[in-house]
């Protein structure tokens, strides 16, 4: 048996439960969970913003684990290997999107902590084909946010098309933004951080990391942005970001859930501005991201919580009280 935090219905607190020890199937690894980040998507699942899939699900998709057993067809890992488990836990491999190299859009995906049990537990199983070897310099707790905040942030950053010394806006300065801020600065971009109105703590945090400007989301810097990434799940930020972005600029919505986008005048979009979304990730994103932070190391800022305090960690995330990322440590 093992201990796990389970969600029985949206809107209810997670409940500690004794669950049977999982057994790995042919392509799976059994992992002892060393750390698991608490992502905003976990909050959307707990709060019911995303439709429930399975009663009693174990959330958590920023999993750092050590392999304790393997299925017969696993390759690339061995017992004792430290691996990371991301949000995308499996795909069909044969739909039009998978065949076209866009597995992030698979018609029948499997998501960690949503379709299958995740890392808010002492042990979990994962499809080894969708796991990543983790870079050595990051300890377990500091590696956990890389597996979603880092990966989704990287995909959004890549889709923005920023190069050289372009100006990049980050709306919502939490786990993903604080990682991508460091990557962007290392590559020579100028970073502008937008936070909740009155959130001086996050603004100070952004400036400490090297942002050249930090202010409220209802403010605009004196210069136009070349691109903006929206990490906060607030639809009203889309027209706000368009107002702050130059002609030809790109606004990327990086969350899996967002409140409704209000109507806005066509003039905000005109001038060949574009708005696009990010859906999940690909394994190629993971390879590219981990290669990038090998060249430009980042420092993840974390607030560790014991597994039993998962509800407290989620409440702190909901209230915007976390600089960086919350991480559960079984």
> How far is 186 from 21, CA to CA, in rounded Å?
43
Helix axes 200-209, 175-186, angle to 10 degrees: 30
Classify residue 320 by its DSSP letter.
T
Task: Say how many CA atoms lie within 13 Å of 82 toward its Cβ.
Answer: 13
> How far is 66 from 202, CA to CA, in rounded Å?
33
pTM of the model: 0.94
Each residue's pLDDT, cut to its tens digit, for the chain (330 residues) gives: 999 999 999 999 999 999 999 999 999 999 999 999 999 999 999 999 999 999 999 999 999 999 999 999 999 999 999 999 999 999 999 999 999 999 999 999 999 999 999 999 999 999 999 999 998 889 999 999 999 999 999 999 999 999 999 999 999 999 999 999 999 999 999 999 999 999 999 999 999 999 999 999 999 999 999 999 999 999 999 999 999 999 999 999 999 999 999 999 999 999 999 999 999 999 999 999 999 999 999 999 999 999 999 999 999 999 989 888 999 999
CB atoms within 10 A of CB 287: 11
What CATH code is assigned to 151-277? Answer: 3.40.50.720
- Domain 2-146+280-329 is of which CATH architecture? Alpha-Beta Complex (3.90)
Residues 58/113, Cβ–Cβ less than 8 Å: yes
> Can you give the residue ranges of every domain in the chain?
2-146+280-329, 151-277
Task: Say how many CA atoms lie within 13 Å of 178 toward its Cβ.
Answer: 24
Q: Cα 194 to the chain's mean position, in Å?
A: 18
> Which residue blocks in 115-258 are alpha helix, DSSP H?
140-143, 149-160, 175-186, 200-209, 237-244
> Which residue blocks in 77-148 are alpha helix, DSSP H?
96-99, 140-143
């Amino acid at each position: 048996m093992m201990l796990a935090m389970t969600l029985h219905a949206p809107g209810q607190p997670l409940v500690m439960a004794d669950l049977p020890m999982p057994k790995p199937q042919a392509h799976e690894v059994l992992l002892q969970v060393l750390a698991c980040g608490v992502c905003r998507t976990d909050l959307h699942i707990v709060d019911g913003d995303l439709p429930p899939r399975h009663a009693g699900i174990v959330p958590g998709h920023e999993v750092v684990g050590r392999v304790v057993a393997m299925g017969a067809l696993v390759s690339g890992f061995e017992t004792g290997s430290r691996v990371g488990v991301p949000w995308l836990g499996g795909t069909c491999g044969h739909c039009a999107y998978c065949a076209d190299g866009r597995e992030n859009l698979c018609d029948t995906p499997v998501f960690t902590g949503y379709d299958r049990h995740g890392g808010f537990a002492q042990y979990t199983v994962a499809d080894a084909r969708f796991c990543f070897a983790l870079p050595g310099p990051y300890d377990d707790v500091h590696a956990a946010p890389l597996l979603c905040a880092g990966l989704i942030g990287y995909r959004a950053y890549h889709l923005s098309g920023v190069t050289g010394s372009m100006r990049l806006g980050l709306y919502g300065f939490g786990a993903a933004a604080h990682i991508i801020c460091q990557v962007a600065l290392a590559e020579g971009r100028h970073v502008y951080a937008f936070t909740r109105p009155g959130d001086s703590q996050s603004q100070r945090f952004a400036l400490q990391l090297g942002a050249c400007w930090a202010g409220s989301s209802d403010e605009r810097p004196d210069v136009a942005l070349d691109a903006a990434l929206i990490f906060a799940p607030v639809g009203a930020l889309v027209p706000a970001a368009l107002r702050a972005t130059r002609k030809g600029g790109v606004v990327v919505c990086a969350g899996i859930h967002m409140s409704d986008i209000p109507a806005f005048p066509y003039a905000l979009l005109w001038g060949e501005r574009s708005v696009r979304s990010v859906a999940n990730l690909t394994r190629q994103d993971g390879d590219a991201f981990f290669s990038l932070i090998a060249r430009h190391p980042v420092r993840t800022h974390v607030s560790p919580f014991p597994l039993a305090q998962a509800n407290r960690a989620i409440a702190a995330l909901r209230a915007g009280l976390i600089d960086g990322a919350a991480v559960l440590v079984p």
